[in-house]
Amino acid sequence: MRDWTNRSARRRLLCAASAVWALSAGAALAQAAPFKIDAQPAAAGIRQFARQAGVQILVQSDAADGKRTGPVKGALPVDRALEQLLSGTGLVVISNDGKTIILASPRAGLIRTGWSNPAVAAAAPPEPVAPPEPEAPSIIDELIVTGTRSTSRTVTESMAPIDVISAAELTKSGKQSTRDLISTLVPSANTSNSGAGASFAIKTVSLRGLSADQTLVLVNGKRRHNTAILFVNGTTQNGQSPPDLDLIPSAAIERIEVLRDGASAQYGSDALAGVINVILKKSPEGGSISALYGKTAEGDGETGQFSGNLGMKLGEAGYLNLTADVRITDPTDRGDKTPNTTLMYFPRNALGQPVRVGTAGSTPDPREATANRHTSHPGSPQVQLFSLGYSAGSPITDDIDVYSFGTFSSRNTAAWLTFRNPNASNNITAVNPDGYTPRLFLKDRDFQVAFGAKGAGLLGFDWDLSTTFSRDAVDYYENSLNASLGPASPTYFYIGALKFQEWTSNLDLTREVDTGVFAEPLFVAAGLEYRDDKFEITAGEPASYINGGYVAPAGSPQAGVVFAGGSQGVTGFPPFSAGAFSRDNISAYLNVEQKVTEKLEFALAGRFEHYSDFGDAKTFKLSSRYAILPRLAIRGTASTGFRAPSLQQQHYASSSTIGVIVPPATTTQLYPVQLLPPDNPAAIALGAKPLRPEKSTNYSVGIVAQPLSRMNVTVDVYQIKIDNRILQSGTLGPNAAVSNALASQGLNPQQAAFYYGNFADTKTRGIDFVVDYRTDFGDFGSVRWTFSANHTKNEFTRVVQPPAALAAAGIVYIDRVKIGDLTVGTPKDKFILGADWELGKFDTNLRLTRYGEVIQRTSLAANDETVSPKLIVDLDLSYAATDKITVSVGANNLLDAYPDSVRAANRGTPAFAYYNQYSPYGISGGFYYARVAARF
């Protein structure tokens, strides 16, 4: 545990260091420890030393710039080992209490004369001189490992734009998920907050206006698996199965690195928009517990969260870090602000008997006057989430370390779907005399475990051999009705399961080659990867998908009605869609980085991949950085990328009832829609072809500057062109062509349809702007100011047209709704202004986020909806009650802002939407919380 008795002083010390490595703090300097450190750049060498010695080292980044540490090998006392490490660097120890070592350059004027050993102070002097508080560097001076295979770079030295989010920032907000924190702090990141059917359980985060599955997620540098669920009936993020960041316990996270640049050549498929690398905690001692309670301004959405983290030693040099997280959230309900006034019940004849709607001489059912018309319940789902995480490692020889990490999660989610009126054709009044609202339940069981070993001396290379196995299994259940079974229909169904499994193995090699020509040695990284993917669909119980053929008796109001088969809401997976699907791929990469002069450096990466289902892919990346002045540099990248079609996109099939405009009507109504896999004959009849990988070309140019001593500025301009983009088609039909295609495969012809295809080429252009500045107010504390902004514009450069015969039949693959989802369905502009004010025991964190305009296009231009620009205010107030206990209160969306309401024509019949679900900040309003955290 870090033994810093003054919390304010601890903060100042952390701010004084641009590289902080918090390891075990109990190693005595005279105690021998095993070391295996090669000569290398100082930042990397010091970091390795801290880990192997079990101490914490603080050093300003500019003091280590351009220096190389010496080799340290064998079992040595820490003081002697440190002397060897620093030999020739000019760095000296200015403070050392046996737990924390502070290094600096002699020119800093911080060395107390009279110390017996200017290179290493084996023991602190009786009254050590504390270093003066230096200018606080920005978080963008953090050491990073994403976007480069080298481990000695800071964010400002990176050749591509990178955001670093620390664990401390997670504790300064009421965000309960990693995904929401990223969307809050990264200007080019946005969260999709809506979905219908099974999609309500997933919220996706996207970078730079692209799809969520076009961002690669790593954990400790290893690929994170995707969710089994396919995001189908949502808004802007349809057709995706991205990694689910909610299933990584937030208390296990040391930091998050977000690379905002194409990186397929470095990491493989999916990294078109960038990479999110989640780094887990590895501390071998200490820990923390925290509890949060909150609810919305409406009084719903009640949330309780408890997290615990514990570090412990394994042997003399190993570590085991454990995390548990429990979160229980009640649903929010934001429907029916203006209840639907259409008739709910069948009208009555003169004898008081129910008759068909429209019967002459009939009168409304008396129950219409007292009926409960609060039948729509859009909002956040009910969630019970239990997750565990661990990270472990230990040396087993002088040259080999073994490690492992993993997460285990169990999540139960429930949400209401859309109300079915008593007089609707998908209701049986004998079962539900007052109608019903289907309720969908998902049981998600997820895990990922990684095992590996790493070391040095393999033909001069450092090596890392690992294997990662993961699985996500989701069972679907539903309270609903299969009207085609008549009064005998059950009201609870098992509608099937989805499973996705991924097994990835990697060999990574790195070394430096001293050419004797350039400013620093050539850095070389190479590696191999093998990945095996499996996707499985399990059919539901027969009652969830069959058509029972029920015929309403003559004389009843529903006589002659054709009842839809399958459970209403989400229909069970039928046998034709069930099956197991797999593929594998092997890849190899090479990455070189060279600092040519003290000002100029280059990096080149290339990757080859072979997939068993669609063949080969080759990607490249060239990066460069040039320091024009000591405080001004330009950087740029050019790369190609690819994203393999997911197994879910290739093979998923389902049927659900969603809002569709059925001609000649001009308003939305519930209608069954069948999602077809591209290889289904019905889809082929509608023009489907085998999916091909998406391919991208990415350009980025940026500036890194420090115009003032406490200010850091980065500006990055980018363009991303994607060919053969995989999109969910618009709703096809209902029309004769679709009905005939469905009927030919024995499917209900009274449906619309859609499927996935390489339907378009797109171009994305934008700019990211980040400023970081600290103001010292003396006795009134200090404020860290941050301002970040993003502008992104998406456009279609090519749209695939259907064959003439299908076009004549009314088929349009990408309609104005789909074009609008990608071009105007997310904010083009996002601005974030933050102020973190530290004053003694108080910490106030205020953040203002302005989202630009969003437009929800509909099939009729006259019915388009607008989500007006909105300012969202987040506030967190913390007080250090003791050195180890902090209490906080705060609010997400302090002013309880809501998006625009949806016009009546788009709310559906019956109404199933009020607030516009295209809102990037959700529709649940303000969330207010209290939190207690303790460290030990």
Mean pLDDT of all residues in 327-351: 86
CB 593 within 8 A of CB 603: yes
Residue 109 or residue 873, greater confidence? 873
CB 863 within 8 A of CB 903: yes
* pLDDT at residue 132 tops 80: no
Burial of 157 (0-12, 13-18, 19+ CB in 10 A): buried
- pLDDT-derived band at 60, boundaries 50, 70, 90: low
The pair phi, psi for residue 174, each rounded to 5°, is: -95, 15
Q: Which pair of tokens denotes residue 299?
A: 């009084």
Which one of 40-44, 234-238, 355-359 scores highest in mean pLDDT? 355-359
- List beta partners, residue 526: 509, 590
For 261-315, write each residue's pLDDT tens digit: 999 999 999 999 999 999 999 999 999 999 999 999 999 999 999 999 999 999 8
- List beta partners, residue 637: 623, 700
pLDDT of residue 13: 33
Q: Which pair of tokens denotes residue 20?
A: 């902080």
CB 321 within 8 A of CB 294: no
Q: What is the biggest distance separating any 2 CA atoms in the chain, rounded to whole angstroms?
A: 110
* pLDDT at residue 74 tops 80: no
Handedness of CA 311, 314, 316, 318 (dihedral sign): negative
- CA–CA dist 273, 257 (Å, integer): 14
Neighbours of 334 (CB within 10 A): 23
* pLDDT at residue 782 tops 90: yes
Q: How far is CA 803 from the centre of its chain?
A: 38
Which one of 169-173, 657-661, 896-900 scores highest in mean pLDDT? 896-900
For 790-829, write each residue's pLDDT tens digit: 999 999 999 999 999 999 999 999 999 999 999 999 999 9
Q: What is the edge-to-edge ordering of all strands in the sheet holding 92-96?
A: 19-21, 56-59, 100-104, 92-96
pLDDT of residue 693: 95
Contacts of 621 (CB under 8 A, 6+ apart): 262, 263, 264, 265, 266, 603, 604, 605, 606, 637, 638, 639, 640
* pLDDT at residue 158 tops 70: yes
- pLDDT-derived band at 563, boundaries 50, 70, 90: confident
pLDDT of residue 909: 64
- CA–CA dist 114, 119 (Å, integer): 12
- List beta partners, residue 175: none
- List beta partners, residue 478: 440, 493
Residue with tokens 């001489």: 361
* pLDDT at residue 98 tops 80: no
The pair phi, psi for residue 29, each rounded to 5°, is: -65, -30
Q: Which pair of tokens denotes residue 312?
A: 């412990």
The pair phi, psi for residue 591, each rounded to 5°, is: -135, 125
* DSSP codes joined into one string, 121-177: -SS--SSPPPPP-PPPPPGGGSEE-TT-S-S-EEGGG-SS-EEEEEHHHHTTS---S
- pLDDT-derived band at 6, boundaries 50, 70, 90: very low
* pLDDT at residue 86 tops 50: yes
pLDDT of residue 656: 84
For 624-656, write each residue's pLDDT tens digit: 999 999 899 999 999 999 999 999 999 999 888
Residue environment code for 340-361, b if the CB has 16+ CB neighbours within 10 A, otherwise e: beeebbbbbeeeeebbbeeeee
* pLDDT at residue 224 tops 80: yes
Backbone torsion region of residue 352, taken as left when φ is above 0, otherwise alpha when ψ lies between -120 and 50, otherwise beta:
left
* pLDDT at residue 155 tops 80: no
Nearest 5°: CA angle at 512, between 511 and 514?
Answer: 150
- 24 closest CA partner among 282, 258, 289, 226: 282
pLDDT of residue 11: 36
For 570-612, write each residue's pLDDT tens digit: 999 999 899 999 999 999 999 999 999 989 999 999 999 999 9
The pair phi, psi for residue 78, each rounded to 5°, is: -60, -40
- pLDDT-derived band at 114, boundaries 50, 70, 90: very low
* pLDDT at residue 135 tops 90: no
- 185 closest CA partner among 158, 206, 164, 201: 164
Contacts of 116 (CB under 8 A, 6+ apart): none
Q: How far is CA 331 from the centre of its chain?
A: 22
Mean pLDDT of all residues in 170-174: 78
Mean pLDDT of all residues in 217-238: 87
